[in-house]
Amino acid sequence: MNNIERLESCLINLRDVFRRHQQVIKSKYNVSTVEMDIIQLIAMEGQKKMKDIGEAFGIKFSTLTSIVDKIEGQKLVKRVNSKTDRRSVYLTITPKGQALYENYKNYIHVIAMLMQRTISQEHFEIFVSEFEKITSKSAALSAHAHS
C-alpha cells in the first residue's frame, strides 16, 4: 500500500470510531442521527432559528417540526419565542440536551488522550500541527471534494 492508500484506511477506521460512538449515545438517549446532530449544533453554537436549522441540515420544515416535537418531548431541546423577532421560533438546549453533548465531547477527549499516549512525544507535536492545518480547512475540504 502506498501512503495515500494507508491514509484512506486510517480515515475509514476513524470514521467507524465516530460511527460506533454515535451509536452508543444514540441508544443511550434514544435519538436518531439527525436528532443528535441538531442537539449538538445548538449546544455548540447556542440557540438557533428553526428556519436556519432546517437549512443547515437540508431538511424540510415539516420534517423538522416532527423531529423537534419528538426531542422536545424527550426534554432535550426547547422551543422559545424571540422577544425581538416575534415571527421566528428559536430552538434552545436543555440541561438534558447539554448532558448529551458533554457525553459526546468527553468521548472526543478520551480519544485525544489515547492518541497522545500512542504517539511519541516528539511526533505528537508534529502530528497535531499537521492535523490542524488539514482540519482547519475542513469546510474547504468538503466544498472541494464535492465540486
Of 39, 43, 46, 50, nearest to 90 by C-alpha is 50
Q: What is the dihedral of CA 76, 82, 83, 84, to 10 degrees?
A: 150
What's the burial of 146, exposed, middle or buried (CB within 10 Å: 0-12/13-18/19+)?
A: exposed
We find the least distance from the C-beta atom of residue 36 to a copy of itself, in angstroms, to be 10
Q: Which is nearer to a copy of itself, 95 or 134 (CB)?
A: 134
Restricting to residues 69-98, name those near a copy of itself by CB under 8 A. Answer: none
How many residues touch a copy of itself under the rule CB under 8 A: the total is: 60
Measured CA to CA, the distance from residue 68 to residue 79 in angstroms comes to: 8
Q: Which stretch binds a copy of itself (CB under 8 A): 25-33, 63-71, 72-80, 91-99?
A: 25-33
Do 40 and 105 meet the contact criterion of CB atoms below 8 Å apart?
A: no
Among 24, 52, 79, 81, binds a copy of itself (CB under 8 A): 24
Per CB under 8 A, residues contacting a copy of itself are: 3-4, 6-21, 23-24, 27, 32-34, 37, 57-58, 105, 107-116, 118-119, 123-128, 130-138, 141-142, 144-146
